[in-house]
Amino acid sequence: MEMPTPDAAILSRKSKIVERLRAALPQAAVIHDEAELRAYECDALTAYRCPPLAVVLPASTAEVATVLKICHAEGVPVVPRGSGTSLAGGALPTADSVILGVSRLNRVLEVDYDNRFIRVQSGRTNLSVTGAVEQDDFFYAPDPSSQLACAIAGNIAMNSGGAHCLKYGVTTNNLLGVTMVSMAGEVMEIGGAHLDAAGYDLLGVICGSEGQLGVVTEATLRILRKPEGARPVLIGFDSNEVAGACVSDIIKAGVLPVAIEFMDRPCIEATEAFAKAGYPMCEALLIVEVEGSPAEIDEQLGLITQIARRHNPVELREAQSEDEAKRIWLGRKSAFGAMGNINDYMCLDGTIPVSSLPYVLKRIGEMSKDYGLDVANVFHAGDGNMHPLILFDANKPGDLELCEAFGADILKLCVEVGGCLTGEHGVGIEKRDLMTTQFAPEDLEAQMRVKDVFDPSWLLNPAKVFPLAVSRARRERDIAA
Ligand SMILES: Cc1cc2nc3c(=O)[nH]c(=O)nc-3n(C[C@H](O)[C@H](O)[C@H](O)COP(=O)(O)OP(=O)(O)OC[C@H]3O[C@@H](n4cnc5c(N)ncnc54)[C@H](O)[C@@H]3O)c2cc1C
């Protein structure tokens, strides 16, 4: 993966830049020691690493604005960082950039049950947003599997989803407003504690913009009343394709479960060894969850099991207690960790029309044989958001490159069947060079013009989202003009 050559002029001014940052923030909020910088050299896409020039950890919107003004004046790139769990390399620094981490911005600012919103600082973790309101029977719906660690800032930047987003939507459907600081240090309020804002839908532009347009410091989030009850059912099949066909039929029937999750045999085996969730050993497993009153749950599960029976399941097991339901979800939420426990892997994130699931799963199996690399599948099947995990050996020369080529072919297949390159993990560096597969030059140009407006000097989160060759050619064209 190509990264831009660091700006030698910036590197040579490191001590002056660090001095300016240290003069503006408390000492402990500026990290510049080589050994300590190592902790920030990558995110969860650990195959790519590069220590930054420095790290700053501001504790207020005003401090964020100060840092950005300094970096803007010095012409230093800035990489916003939440908890560093991005699987797309979104928070990967360049050697000449300053990482701006928001982990100290972690307070709850306001809870309003009457109007159903919570206002938090952006470094607060996803799970602790629900933690702040669950005693009053409310919750925040988007639930990435990384929710114990990932920050609301990263969720907004990547428009993150999770298992329960089939019913409740992803981050953009649950975000009401943000406070954001531009690269030049201007503080902007976008959206608010109301349903819709006058003027352009800038909130829609910010959500999913991958730290390219500004640094989000506060967020107003929709909170919902907890449902009366919920119950998952485990459905086992003897092939991936049949499980995929069952998902397609459930969606076609118009039933709306809160979640339909898919795991194949390699994932079931790894998860069972790791989390002891009581999963049946079969080729493919669906976890389908419905919620509502006991009567609503019975009715929906009745329909779902009726559809599943047409596909000859090898196992059909409804959770009999809250404890069992928790264990089922613990298994699913541990799946990535369980796979990481036994192998290096690259986690992909393409989205496809649900009706293409059987075909795409079959093709992935065939490609896996062609490339000689194993694949494990665990994903949000209800909305067609696939996460093939390609297993490789990071210590074997050539394996990473082979894995990248295989991953690119899977994502191209997603686009070919009418889907897209990312469902929830974002583009980052991982899918940057594939953007031309999905978008025509005019489409990419329109997106880059939005970046021009918010960050004219292109200093925020460099080398992400747009293919390097495309953004470089554009810059050369502008200079020539
Ligand atoms: C085990 C595991 C499971 C996962 N499961 C899911 C899942 O189910 N669903 C899902 O959607 N994702 C999942 N992810 C991916 C990841 O957790 C999400 O992308 C998450 O939203 C990243 O949040 P973060 O705080 O760690 O952000 P980071 O990794 O720190 O950054 C992510 C992006 O956000 C930008 N950013 C960070 N802070 C700001 C800010 N203040 N202002 C502007 N931009 C900012 C960064 O520049 C970067 O581009 C998973 C990751 C792991 C490791």
Mutation test residue for ligand 1: of 160, 274, 345, 380, the one with most atoms within 8 Å of CB: 160
Alpha-carbon span 275 to 23, nearest angstrom: 48
The b-or-e profile of 429-438 (16+ CB within 10 A means b, else e) is: bbbbbbbeeb
pLDDT at 65: 98
What's the pTM? Answer: 0.94
**Residue 232 DSSP label:** E
Residue closest to 447 by CA, chosen among 436, 79, 177: 436
- Per-residue confidence (pLDDT) for residue 196, from 0 to 100: 77
State the pLDDT at residue 265.
94
pLDDT of residue 473: 87
Q: Which of 87, 104, 168, 175 to mutate to test the pocket of ligand 1 (most atoms within 8 A of CB)?
A: 87
Give residue 425 CA to ligand 1 midpoint distance, Å: 7
Ligand 1 pocket by Cβ (under 6 Å): 43-44, 79-87, 90-91, 102, 122, 144-146, 150-151, 153-155, 157-158, 160-162, 210-211, 215-216, 336-337, 424-425, 461
What pLDDT is stored for residue 3 in this prediction? Answer: 83
For atom 52 of ligand 1, which residue has the closest CA? 146
**pLDDT tens, position by position, 230-273:** 999 999 999 999 999 999 999 999 888 999 999 999 999 999 99
Structure tokens at 2: 């190509």
Q: Tell me the residue type at 419.
A: G
What 3-state class would DSSP assign to 9?
Answer: helix
Using CB atoms within 10 Å of the CB of residue 402, give its burial: 0 to 12 exposed, 13 to 18 middle, 19+ buried: middle
Cα-Cα-Cα-Cα dihedral sign, residues 129, 131, 136, 138: positive
Nearest to 219 by CA among 186, 200, 193, 183: 193
Q: How far is the CA of 85 from the centre of ligand 1 (A)?
A: 5
pLDDT in tens, 326-349: 999 999 989 988 998 888 999 999
State residue 420's pLDDT score. 95
Q: Which two tokens stand for residue 102?
A: 């928001």
Instruction: Tell which atom from ligand 1 comes closest to the C-alpha of 163.
Output: 8
**Ranges of the chain with pLDDT below 50:** none
- 41 CA to centre of ligand 1 in angstroms: 15
Is residue 223 within 8 Å of residue 133, measured between CB atoms? yes
Domains detected in the chain: 108-225 (3.30.465.10), 228-337 (3.30.70.3450), 343-438 (3.30.70.2740)
Query: Alpha-carbon distance 358 to 369, whole Å?
Result: 17
Instruction: Please answer whether residues 31 and 17 qualify as being in contact, where contact means their C-beta atoms are separated by less than 8 angstroms.
Output: no
3-state SS of 65-87?
HHHHHHHHHHCCCEEEECCCCCC
What is the rounded average pLDDT for all residues in the chain? Answer: 95
